[in-house]
């Protein structure tokens, strides 16, 4: 009976935990898993609560990079168990109508501090309507070429990702590709090209892609058409047939630097900024003759690393600051360019005390919100101890009278220690002699066999 009772309580507790875990869940449901670039996305957010009061819903800042909140509606439902189910219906407008196809993985939404699952949506490139004369070649064509940029509306100084796509069938012989010609921007290749194959309705197609970075430096940017020709050899052919194709011209609308931007600030247009800093060692206090190393990690979306400002001009009345190393890198994350800067600085304290550290401040222009933004890390204060051996305790006059008696006690204990060691040594010798004599007597009484009994 005790075992049955124990199992009953275990099942009840498991059901209670399962119910409580469901209460804590925040569910995020999309109206569609795929979204055409520039269209609207409807999201349903469900969060249970013990109160009918509207909970606090927090939309991540990363959502604002890709979407704009158009409409929001809230409903609350009283459930039989005594709690309430809150539901929000959000309509989001995708901000990048000219986006390339990519997969977005954004941060979860929070309701009263509880997080939902991450937002995952597949962005499909928008198919623009063109006249029959300018229509793109169908996939059935053996050779195709296409060029595109991630944004057709940008600011001067912004970095765009240019991509060239070539699809072909068969084996190419003597391929010829015209170079990239851009007016109003500087191009730089981003890594090497990549190629992959796929099967389309029983036809094997090869797809090659190249990416380059375009640094905009003029208000009019024009990308000239690209030309590609190659002789394609199919199975069973010896020479093949010559095919030619070309892209259309691309134009980018470039906005100038806003008048409201301060002239003394470096111009940095970007989609987003993440600034972090850590100290080594992590101790809250150091000695005056020691140095402290600061590691700065800066990630800027929509900019290449070579354009990122470095924190070399930090000035402080309490610290002497010297640069140590700088590392630059460019990466493509979720189809967007991310410029990365890792910088190490050395801090030398000029004096002792509770010294204030300089703040790290970066001013940039948010191209999605069309307004100035600021990212800042406050380093706070650090305790600097004076020079010298700080571990020795200070002795005042009241304690000085206790030093001599304590030393005498230590000497007395050491003398008694020597006497104990002598007793141990003599006792060990006595035991060894006794054992030797006993063994000698036993050897005389034992009748041992000969070493070689057969001889």
Instruction: Tell me the pLDDT band of 27, cut-offs 50, 70 and 90.
Output: confident
Task: Classify domain 139-255 at the CATH class level.
Answer: mainly beta
Question: Lowest-confidence range among 34-43, 170-179, 244-253, 317-326?
Answer: 34-43
Top pLDDT among 215 and 240 is at 215
The predicted structure's pLDDT at residue 415: 47
From-to residues of CATH 2.60.40.10 in the chain: 24-124
Over residues 32-55, mean pLDDT: 85
**What is the CATH code of the structural domain delimited by 24-124?**
2.60.40.10
Q: Is 14 helix (H, G, I), strand (E, B) or coil?
A: helix
Whether residue 138 is predicted with pLDDT greater than 60 in this model: the reply is no
Whether residue 139 is predicted with pLDDT greater than 90 in this model: the reply is no
| Most confident of the following: 194-208, 279-293, 364-378 | 364-378
Whether residue 288 is predicted with pLDDT greater than 60 in this model: the reply is yes
Q: Over pLDDT 90: what percentage of the chain?
A: 29
Residue 431: partners with Cβ closer than 8 Å, 6 or more residues away: none
| Most confident of the following: 114-123, 236-245, 258-267, 308-317 | 258-267
Question: Lowest-confidence range among 19-33, 94-108, 180-194?
Answer: 19-33
Name the average pLDDT for the chain: 78
Q: Is 408 helix (H, G, I), strand (E, B) or coil?
A: helix
The predicted structure's pLDDT at residue 393: 41
Which parts of 233-392 fold into alpha helices (H)?
Answer: none
What is the spatial distance between Cα 212 and Cα 149, in angstroms, rounded to a whole number? 9
Instruction: Tell me the pLDDT band of 52, cut-offs 50, 70 and 90.
Output: confident
| Most confident of the following: 16-30, 370-384, 441-455 | 370-384
Which of 226, 114, 143 is closest to 180 using CA atoms?
226
The predicted structure's pLDDT at residue 414: 43
Instruction: Tell me the pLDDT band of 422, cut-offs 50, 70 and 90.
Output: low
Which of 324, 365, 330, 142 is closest to 233 using CA atoms?
142
The predicted structure's pLDDT at residue 80: 84
What is the spatial distance between Cα 261 and Cα 267, in angstroms, rounded to a whole number? 8
Question: Lowest-confidence range among 196-205, 242-251, 444-453?
Answer: 444-453
What is the spatial distance between Cα 41 and Cα 45, in angstroms, rounded to a whole number? 13
The predicted structure's pLDDT at residue 2: 45
Tokens at 337, concatenated: 């360019």
Residue 158: partners with Cβ closer than 8 Å, 6 or more residues away: 151, 216, 269, 270, 302, 303, 367
The predicted structure's pLDDT at residue 436: 61
Tokens at 145, concatenated: 């070429």
Over residues 37-41, mean pLDDT: 85
Which of 260, 331, 326 is closest to 299 using CA atoms?
331
Cβ–Cβ < 8 Å for 100, 76: no
Instruction: Tell me the pLDDT band of 365, cut-offs 50, 70 and 90.
Output: very high
Residue 381: partners with Cβ closer than 8 Å, 6 or more residues away: 354, 355, 356, 357
Whether residue 187 is predicted with pLDDT greater than 90 in this model: the reply is yes
Instruction: Tell me the pLDDT band of 236, cut-offs 50, 70 and 90.
Output: confident
Over residues 87-93, mean pLDDT: 86
Q: Look up the pTM and report it.
A: 0.55
Whether residue 97 is predicted with pLDDT greater than 70 in this model: the reply is yes
Top pLDDT among 18 and 55 is at 55
The third-level CATH classification (topology) of the domain covering 269-385 is Immunoglobulin-like (2.60.40)
> Exposure string (b/e) for 363-393, b if CB count within 10 Å is 16 or more?
bbbbbbeeeeeebeeeeeebebeeeeeeeee
Whether residue 17 is predicted with pLDDT greater than 70 in this model: the reply is no
Which of 29, 18, 44, 23 is closest to 114 using CA atoms?
23
Question: Lowest-confidence range among 19-33, 195-209, 365-379?
Answer: 19-33
Whether residue 142 is predicted with pLDDT greater than 80 in this model: the reply is yes
What is the spatial distance between Cα 116 and Cα 47, in angstroms, rounded to a whole number? 9
Whether residue 405 is predicted with pLDDT greater than 50 in this model: the reply is no
Which of 124, 434, 60, 104 is closest to 274 using CA atoms?
60
Over residues 34-53, mean pLDDT: 86
The predicted structure's pLDDT at residue 297: 93
The predicted structure's pLDDT at residue 389: 43
Residue 406: partners with Cβ closer than 8 Å, 6 or more residues away: none
Phi, psi of 427 (to 5 degrees): -65, -40
Top pLDDT among 405 and 182 is at 182
Q: How many other CB atoms are there within 10 angstroms of residue 441's CB atom?
A: 8
The predicted structure's pLDDT at residue 180: 93
């Amino acid at each position: 009976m005790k075992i049955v009772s124990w199992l009953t309580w275990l099942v009840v507790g498991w059901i209670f935990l399962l119910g409580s875990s469901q209460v804590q869940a925040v569910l995020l449901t999309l109206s569609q898993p795929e979204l055409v670039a520039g269209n609207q996305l409807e999201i349903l957010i469900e969060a249970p609560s013990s109160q009918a009061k509207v909970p606090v819903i927090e939309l991540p800042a990363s959502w604002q990079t890709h979407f704009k909140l158009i409409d929001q509606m809230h409903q609350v439902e009283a459930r039989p168990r005594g709690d309430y189910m809150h539901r929000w219906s959000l309509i989001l407008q995708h901000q990048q109508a000219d986006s390339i196809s990519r997969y977005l993985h954004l941060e979860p939404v929070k309701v009263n501090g509880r997080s939902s699952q991450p937002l995952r949506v597949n962005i499909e490139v928008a198919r623009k309507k063109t006249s029959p004369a300018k229509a793109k070649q169908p996939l059935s064509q053996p050779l195709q070429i296409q060029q595109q940029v991630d944004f057709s509306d940008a600011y001067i100084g912004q970095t765009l990702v240019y991509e060239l796509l070539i699809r072909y069938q068969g084996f190419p012989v003597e391929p010829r590709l015209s170079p990239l010609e851009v007016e109003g921007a500087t191009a730089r290749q981003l890594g090497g090209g990549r190629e992959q194959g796929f099967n389309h309705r029983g036809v094997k197609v090869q797809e090659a892609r190249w990416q380059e970075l375009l640094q905009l430096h003029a208000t009019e940017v024009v990308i000239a058409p690209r030309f590609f020709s190659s002789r394609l050899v199919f199975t069973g052919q010896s020479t093949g047939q010559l095919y030619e194709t070309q892209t259309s011209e691309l134009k980018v609308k470039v906005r100038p630097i806003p008048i409201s931007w301060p002239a003394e600030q470096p111009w940095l247009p970007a989609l987003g900024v993440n600034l972090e800093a850590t100290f080594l060692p992590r101790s809250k206090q150091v000695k005056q003759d020691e140095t402290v190393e600061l590691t700065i990690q800066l990630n800027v979306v929509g900019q290449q690393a070579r354009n990122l400002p470095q924190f070399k001009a930090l000035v402080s009345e309490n610290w002497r600051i010297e640069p140590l190393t700088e590392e630059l890198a460019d990466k493509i994350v979720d189809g967007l360019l991310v410029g990365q800067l890792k910088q190490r600085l050395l801090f030398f304290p000029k004096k002792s005390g509770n010294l204030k550290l300089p703040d790290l401040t970066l001013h940039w222009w948010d191209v999605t919100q069309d307004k100035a933004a600021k990212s800042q890390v406050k380093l706070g204060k650090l305790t600097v101890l004076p020079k010298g051996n700080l571990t020795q305790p200070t002795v005042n006059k009241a304690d000085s009278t206790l030093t001599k008696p304590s030393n005498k006690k230590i000497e007395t204990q050491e003398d008694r220690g020597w006497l104990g060691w002598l007793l141990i040594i003599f006792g060990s010798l006595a035991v060894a002699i006794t054992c030797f004599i006993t063994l000698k007597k036993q050897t005389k009484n034992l009748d041992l066999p000969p070493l070689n009994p057969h001889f």
